[in-house]
Structure 1
């Protein structure tokens, strides 16, 4: 497995900012998200990735959601609440802000959610984060995903990283227990070659050793795969011991990368390794429909 080469310090700072992570001493076991900038920078990254992309319509749709997420996440809360309760408030606020901006099928899917049944909404959210959606869930899941991300990212951003324990072999997020959407391999300075896994729900990042499979811990049967001829930042780390894979994103290739955006844009790589028999470790809430 090759190590990334060094990149200018300014590019490293830009990469951290693009991921919406608060600055701090590196390497650090945990990096918490900055909800005030994360979603806008994601929207900016998606806007650069979308033109000419085979999934351009979907990337543009998620751009719209990301911009709406930014407006809500950056605004002060009217009253404190747990993420489990707050996400439904954020869903309602998302609905209001998107009114008139969505294609008719998407607007109808949003309106069809069980707005008066909190238990039904929470059940849908639980199925989404567990990767256990039912066919009738699919149309509305992007909006549920967006609201859940707002609530949990706001929560994570208000924590103190020094009080969060994260072993260097942790498989799930130390803040919310969510699955990683991808890992980012950093370049330059004292973080050169380090891998941080990024939560697809609350956007916390935590350091994970590169010498072991994230899923099973095996160190001798992992390899990196890429689409032939592709020059983007995405690679797939595959493990022949447990037949799993996780997307890895190389910061040296795209200092402005965003784990969720770049995972979406490299979906063809997931298809490639999936056809090879490798099951995904990661979970991108905006790819739930593809699953």
Structure 2
């Protein structure tokens, strides 16, 4: 019997669990603001406190410089449609150049971090970056965007990477999430970036779902759990963590590709950040460094480990 104003239930929908969203696009300002707050908190009881506070200052600058930045321009509609058709990232790293938006973003970031407490070597590296001619800056940008930063110039490239993170987060935030398509498990569907880590989230619409976090634009994309995010194998997946830890950060190790990517259980601690907690859990990387698994994720603030 139907009562006035009632809605007849659709039997097909009874018991159906809503599918978690494929992606969560970044909120550029809040992304870096929250990261800075998390880094400052982690610095209170961590042997890496000076470095954590330095990266916290960079993250705070990444948030603050966004006031009145010129609007970044997305690719034309036909390029976005072509990327979707052929399962390619819509933000093409190969087309990024020293336009007004990129130059302004990088320049503001470099200026904003001058006053941060840092070692003399880091201050000298910043001075070199600020004085770099356009062609040299293009080379550094290309190194960051291809995840091929030279070992003898890591400090300089950290600043460039921080500026490009802001630029790409602002671009990704302007995409239509419903028009993004999966590339492969370990590739960001927005910019093609590698994951920094993955998160098991506690969102209402995605409780217990795993998302990878892009090392460049900050986009989160869904990847099935108990599966290597790098080679997509579901065989020989194991987990390692530091004994006596809180159980919120583990290394997901794959026997197929012999790699690991950290997995953060955000459903247990909502303050976990894919970049901040990756840095603060460096001890886990050191534990695994001489073992059988190589680090397979990318974090510009953990280069050289």
TM interval, shorter chain, is 0.7 to 0.9
What corresponds to 2:160 in structure 1? 144
Contact 1:247 1:263 (8 Å CA) reproduced: yes
Say yes or no: does 1:69 pair with 2:62.
Answer: yes
What corresponds to 2:33 in structure 1? 40
Contact 1:176 1:202 (8 Å CA) reproduced: yes
SS in 2 for 1:237: strand
Deviation for aligned residue 1:170: 2.3
Residue 217 (structure 1) aligned to one of 213, 232, 245: 232
Whole-angstrom distance in 2 between the partners of 1:179 and 1:47? 25
What corresponds to 1:97 in structure 2? 112
Q: Which runs of 5+ in 2 are unaligned?
A: 1-17, 75-95
SS in 2 for 1:113: helix
SS in 2 for 1:248: strand
Whole-angstrom distance in 1 between the partners of 2:274 and 2:103? 25
What corresponds to 2:169 in structure 1? 153
TM-score (norm 2): 0.80
SS in 2 for 1:249: strand
Superposition pairs of residues 133-282 of structure 1, within 5 angstroms: 133-166=149-182, 169-187=184-202, 189-231=204-246, 233-282=248-297
Deviation for aligned residue 1:54: 1.3
Whole-angstrom distance in 2 between the partners of 1:79 and 1:207? 28
Residue 45 (structure 2) aligned to one of 29, 40, 52: 52
TM-score (norm 1): 0.84
Deviation for aligned residue 1:191: 1.7
Q: After superposing the two structures, state which structure 1 stretch, 225-234 or 28-37, moved more.
A: 225-234
Q: Which has the higher contact order (CA 8 A, sep 6+)?
A: 1
Are residues 84 and 33 of structure 1, via their aligned partners in 2, closer, same or farther at CA, if it must alter by over 3 Å?
A: farther
Deviation for aligned residue 1:231: 1.1
1:181-238, Cα deviation, whole Å (9 max, x unpaired): 0000123644222110000100011001114211222212001111111115211100
RMSD of Structure 2 on Structure 1 (CA)? 2.1
Whole-angstrom distance in 1 between the partners of 2:246 and 2:71? 46
SS in 1 for 2:65: helix
Count of paired positions: 264
Tell me which structure has the larger Cα radius of gyration.
2
